[in-house]
Structures are given as C-alpha cells and as structure tokens.
Amino acid sequence: MRIDLTGKTALVTGSTQGIGRAIAATLADAGARVAVNGRRADGVDDTIRELQDEADGRDLVAAPGDVTRAAGAAAVLAATGDVDILINNLGIFGAESALEIDDAEWRRYFEVNVLAAVRLIRETLPGMKARGWGRILNIASDSAIVIPAEMIHYGMSKTALLAVSRGFAKDAAGTGVTVNSVIAGPTHTGGVEKLVYELVDESLPWDEAQREFMRAHRPQSLLQRLIEPEEIANMVAYLSSPLASATTGAAVRVDGGYVDAIVP
C-alpha cells in the first residue's frame, strides 16, 4: 500500500511547528504540493527552508497569514491556489480555572479553534465538490471527549470540531469529498516536553521522563508514552489519500488508547 498525493495541493494551517509541521513534511513526502502556514512570513520561510534541507524534492509554498481573520484567510488561500486537501491544524490551548474564564476568552477559543476551520472549509469545499475530489481534516484532541477540568474552554472547542466535521461531511455527501476529524492524544511537542520536566525529575533521560509523566499524570494511556507528531501525521496522510475514500464523517482516534472507550 503506497500513499501517493502527486498532483494534489494541501494547505496545513499552523504548520511551522509541532503536529502541523510533521503533517506538512509527511504530505510533501507523499508527493503533495504543500502550503505552509503561520502568522509570520519569516517563520514560514524558515520552516520551508528547514523542511527542504531535511529532504530533497519537497514541493512547499509559503502561505503566511492569520486564518482567524477573514482577510488573513483570504491571503492564505490566494497564496495556496486551489486546495485539494485542507488540514485545519491551528489551535490554542492553556490551563485556566473554569470559573475564571471570561467571555472574551471563551470567544477567543471558539474563534481560533473552531470558526477559523469553518471559514476555510466554507471557502474550499465548493471547489472540491466541483472538481469531484477533496479531503478535509480537522485536528481535534482527546480533550474533545475527556474534557479537562483545567481547560474546559479548550475541550469545548475540540468537541465542536467533531460536530463541524460530521456536519460538513453530510454537506459533501456523494461528491467525492470526505470530511473527517483526527482525535490526537497526548503528543510530544516542545510545549509538552517543557510541561513534562516541570512535573518529573529534570535529571531523567527523555524516554524515562516521559514514561514517568504518563504513569503519574496520564495513567489511562495504553501506549504509556507520548505520541510523536509523525505518528499523527501518518494517519493524516492516509485519510488525505485516495485510499481512504470510504472514510467520511468520522472521528478517527490516534490517541494511544488514552480515551477509555470502544468508540467514538
């Protein structure tokens, strides 16, 4: 089984670091022309340079802009061109006491984590339907199902993405376009690595530190280690490909068994 995205253009929002960066690299390695997105043009350019240095032949285009604003989204789409594969990866998270989250913060999480994705789907889905092929993936989180007490605004936004994915999949029914969400579990990113060493002995080697973190703070994980961004990207690449033509309206888990349920 070979994933071949040759001739397809993918837009990955928030792709200058972490999971988004890994997705951009993996899709490019599968042959896609990938638009790398971030708010700062210099950060996007640096990421493209790094990705091209890591592997020859990656077809990458700069698409800087703030997709949480209509004008920024329009600029990103203009730089990208016709989008065949849309990966809504951009998201914010942070811990805050439930009763201290004010109205403005609730709106900010909804606008960044949900409405930005909806806006890009609204702009790209008609073209995909007209061409008879397309893939839309919204990167959700285990927090969509296991709502964290310290991040209920974040959990709410990721739950909303599951609904958005299912709803737009119905709109795209029978067109050759699939819409899915990917439920990512606890993942090894720069921010999470810092968190790990705040909670466990800083002298421990990384492999040992992350396992201790998972044992003490994420004991329900069956994987018993953090997920690497590339492992999320591998699932995204499959769902972005023609091989996943029968998967739509789904919430696909890449959570290391973190969610203690047989479904979603």
Residue type present at position 140:
A
Q: Exposure pattern of 141-177 as b/e (b: 16+ CB <10 Å)?
A: bbbbbeeeeebbbbbbbbbbbbebbbebbeebeeeeb
Tell me if 5 sits within 8 A of 29, measured CB to CB: no
Helices 152-171 & 116-131 angle (0-180, nearest 10):
20
- The structure tokens listed for 260 are 């203690």
Per annotation, catalytic residue among 154, 197, 238, 258: 154
154 as an active site residue: the answer is yes
- The structure tokens listed for 245 are 């033509």
Q: Compute the distance between CA of residue 174 and CA of residue 171 in angstroms, rounded to an integer.
A: 9
- The structure tokens listed for 145 are 């199902």
Positions marked catalytic: 154
